[in-house]
Structure 1
Amino acid sequence: MGSNCKEVATEILPFIRVYKDGSVERLVGSPIVPPSASDPETGVSSKDIVVSQNPPISARIYLPKHQHPRVPVVVYFHGGGFSFESAFSFVETKFMNRLASLANVVVISIEYRLAPEHPLPIGYDDCWAALQWVVSHSNGGCGSDKEPWVSTYVDFDRVYVGGDSAGANLAHNILMRAGSEGLNNGVKIKGAFLTHPYFWGSEPVGSETKDVEQRKKLATYTLWHLVYPEVAGGIDNPMVNPVIPGAPSLAGLGCSRLLVGVAGKDELRDRGIMYYNAVKESGWEGESELVDVDGEDHAFHILVYDSENAKKFIQRLASFIV
C-alpha cells in the first residue's frame, strides 16, 4: 500500500494529520532557513546552538550589533499548537531578527520537541530545561556546555521570557514554575510578554460560541487533546485554563513585569483579556499591561510580518524590554 492509502487516525485541518501507523503530516508551517552571520535587514548575527544532548534541545541565538557591554536576554518559545512550526523557520527568524535589533537584546529561540510524537508535558520540560541552561551562565565560567554569546553579552538582571500562541502558553507555565521552584543561581525573570496566548476551556467566554458540540470541533479544543491526551481535566486543566477554579494562584507568576498582547479578530482574544484581568486581581505584585491591536488576527506580527501593524507591535514589544 502506498502512502496515499494510509489510514488517518486524527485530522485537525488545516494544521496536522496523524496516521494510524504513528506517522505525522504537518500541513502548515514556514520553511526552515539557515542562521545568518549578518542579517541584511537588521545586521543581527545568528547561529544555531545545542542546549542539551539529552534530552535533545537546540536553539537559534541572535546577537544585536551593539552589546554595550551587556544587554537583556529574551528566552523565546515559538507558537504552532505545540505540534508544528520551528525556531528555525523563516517567519520566526524574521521576527527574532527584528526584535533583537529593535530591543537591542540577545534572543534565544528554543527548539523544543513537538507533539504528538513527543506529547506534553515534554514541551514544557524542554523549555524549562532550556531556560535553566541559559541562566546557569550567570555564574561566569567557560565550561564546554557554555555558550560564549550568553556568557559574554547577557545582563542576568534583565532576563525576559516570551512566546506567541502555544508559545505564550509555554511561557505562562514556565513563569508559574519559576515562581514556585526558582531558577538556577537565584536569577529572577524581570519580565514576560505573552502574545495571543493559547488558553481555552469547556465554558464559553465572551464572544466564543456557546454551542457545546461546536466547541468540541474547534481546533483550540481538539489540538489540546491531541498534544496532551493524558492530562487530568482535559481542556480545563490549569495549564490550558489557568483561571479554572482550583488552579494555582496567578499571584505566583515568577516575573515582575508582564505584557499580554491580544488581537481584535483572534478567537483567543477574550481568553487573553480574561487572563490579564485574572493576573491583576490575583494579588500578583508586578506591573502588567494589555496591548490590544484592533482589526488584526492571530499571530499577525509574525505571519503578516511586513504590515505596518506588525512593525508597530514588534516595536511595542521591544520598548517593553528594558
Structure 2
Amino acid sequence: MDSREPEIACEFLPFLRVYKDGSIDRLVDPPSVPPSLDDPDTGVSSKDIIISPDTGVSARIYLPKLTNTHQKLPILVYFHGGGFCVGSAFSAADHRYINTLSSQATLLAISIEYRLAPTHPLPTAYEDCWAALQWVSSHSTGGDEPWLTQHGNFDRIFIGGDSAGGNIAHNTVMRAGTESLPNGVRILGAFLSQPYFWGSQPIGSESVEDHHQKVSYRIWKFVCPSSEAGIDDSRVNPCSRTPGCPSLSKLGCRRLLVCVAGKDELRDRDVRYYEAVRESGWEGEVELYEEKEEGHVFHIFNPESENAKNMVSRLVAFLQMK
C-alpha cells in the first residue's frame, strides 16, 4: 500500500488545496446548520427549497414574523462568499447573518446555494445565480413557493452579496441592465460588501512586489480558466480598459451600496469601483460605506462587535428604502 501523501499541485490559502491526483481539500468548509421555524433569537422562520432539479441549485428562504397574514415584504436575493470555491448558504455564519437581516429589515430573503469551482468553474456560479433570480421573479404572477407568492413585494427586489458573492451581485446587476427578468420585474437596489475585484496592475496601497502572487490575483484563473482576458476580465475587474468591457452605466438597478473595510486587501479596489460607477453616467444612486478599523467580511464572522452591528444597521436602512 502506498502511504505517501498526495503531491500538492497548488494552494489558495485559506480557501483550498489542490493535489496533482485531482483531489481537493476545501480548507474553509464550515458545517451546515438546519433551517428553523421561529428562530429563538429573531423569530424568523426558514426552510430549504430546490430551485432547479436539473442543476441541483437550491436555496434557504427566510420569512420574518408577520403583522398580518396578507403582509407584503421586500425581497432580498443573497449570494454567499468564499472565493467561488468554498462556503454555503447553509453555513452557521451565513444562516445567522441572513436571519438578522430578515428580522431587522422585515424582509423575505432567499440565500442561494450555487455550484462551486473548481468542480463547476465560472461562469457556472453566475449562471446559477441569474437562474435563481429569474425563478424568484417568475413568482410575481404565481408559482410553487407560497412564501414568495403570498408575501413577496416584487416592486422592491434587492440583491446582495459579500466577497465573491458581492462580485456575483455586481455581475448579476450588470446582466439585469441588458436582459429582462420574467414579468418585467426590476431590481430596486443592490449591496456589495467587500466585493472581490482585482486587476493586473496594483492600485492605491496594493503591493507592487507581490501583486501577482496574491491569492486575489491567482485564484481568478483557477476558478475561471475560460477567461480570455484573465485578471482584467470585466467580471473581476469592472474598471478594466480591455476592449469590449461593458460600461458601468448599464447597471440594472436604481440604488447601489458599496461597503468596504479599511484593513481589507480589497479596500482600494472596491473604492475605485465605487468611484467608477459614480463617474460612469449611471442614472442611479450609489453610496459608499466604510468601517476603517475592520478586515474582510468582519460583520459575518464577528457579528457581536460594535462595528459589525453598525454595518448591519446600515444595510438594514438601505434595504428599508422605498
TM-score exceeds 0.5:
yes
Superposed displacement of residue 220, structure 1 = 0.3
Q: Match of 2:137?
A: 135
Q: Match of 1:313?
A: 311
How many residues align? The count is: 316
Superposed displacement of residue 2, structure 1 = 6.0
1:92-103 mapped onto 2 (5 Å cutoff): 92-103=94-105
Q: What are the Cα deviations for residues 49-79 of structure 1, in whole angstroms up to 9, with x where unaligned?
A: 0011112100011101126510100000000
Which deviates more from structure 2 when the two are superposed, residues 64-73 or residues 216-225? 64-73
% identical aligned pairs: 58
Superposed displacement of residue 178, structure 1 = 0.6
User: Which among 70, 73, 87 is matched to residue 71 of structure 1?
Assistant: 73
Q: Match of 2:221?
A: 225
Say yes or no: does 1:171 pair with 2:173: no
1:286-297 mapped onto 2 (5 Å cutoff): 286-297=284-295
Structure 1 letter corresponding to 2:235: M
Superposed displacement of residue 7, structure 1 = 2.1
Structure 2 letter corresponding to 1:161: I
Q: Match of 2:298?
A: 300
* 3-state SS in 1 of match to 2:101: helix
Contact 1:67 1:104 in 2 (8 A): no
Contact 1:124 1:173 in 2 (8 A): yes
Contact 1:72 1:154 in 2 (8 A): yes
Structure 1 letter corresponding to 2:121: P
Q: Match of 2:127?
A: 125
Structure 2 letter corresponding to 1:99: L
Structure 2 letter corresponding to 1:43: G
Structure 2 letter corresponding to 1:307: S
For 2:120 and 2:128, the matched residues in 1 are separated by 11
Q: What are the Cα deviations for residues 213-259 of structure 1, in whole angstroms up to 9, with x where unaligned?
A: x1121110111111011211111100000111132000000000000
Superposed displacement of residue 3, structure 1 = 7.6
Q: What are the Cα deviations for residues 268-287 of structure 1, in whole angstroms up to 9, with x where unaligned?
A: 01111110110111110011
Q: Match of 1:205?
A: 203
Which deviates more from structure 2 when the two are superposed, residues 1-10 or residues 174-183? 1-10
Structure 2 letter corresponding to 1:21: D
Which deviates more from structure 2 when the two are superposed, residues 37-46 or residues 26-35? 26-35
Q: State the TM-score, normalizing by the size of structure 1.
A: 0.96
Q: Match of 1:44?
A: 44
* 3-state SS in 2 of match to 1:158: strand
Q: Match of 1:147?
A: 145
Unaligned runs of 5+ in 2: none
Superposed displacement of residue 16, structure 1 = 0.3
- Distance 1:23-1:279 versus aligned 2 partners, 3 A rule: same
For 1:168 and 1:2, the matched residues in 2 are separated by 43
* 3-state SS in 1 of match to 2:276: helix
* 3-state SS in 1 of match to 2:177: helix
Structure 2 letter corresponding to 1:255: C
Structure 2 letter corresponding to 1:320: F
For 1:99 and 1:31, the matched residues in 2 are separated by 21
- Distance 1:235-1:151 versus aligned 2 partners, 3 A rule: same
For 2:133 and 2:67, the matched residues in 1 are separated by 21
- Distance 1:182-1:236 versus aligned 2 partners, 3 A rule: same
Extract structure 1 runs of 4+ deviating beyond 3 A: 1-4
Q: Match of 2:53?
A: 53
Say yes or no: does 1:80 pair with 2:109: no
For 1:41 and 1:194, the matched residues in 2 are separated by 26
For 1:131 and 1:21, the matched residues in 2 are separated by 36
Q: What are the Cα deviations for residues 186-220 of structure 1, in whole angstroms up to 9, with x where unaligned?
A: 10000000000100001111100112xx1121110
- Distance 1:67-1:279 versus aligned 2 partners, 3 A rule: farther
Structure 1 letter corresponding to 2:75: V
User: Which among 262, 272, 275 is matched to residue 274 of structure 1?
Assistant: 272
- Distance 1:312-1:4 versus aligned 2 partners, 3 A rule: farther
Contact 1:15 1:28 in 2 (8 A): yes
Q: Match of 1:10?
A: 10
Unaligned runs of 5+ in 1: none
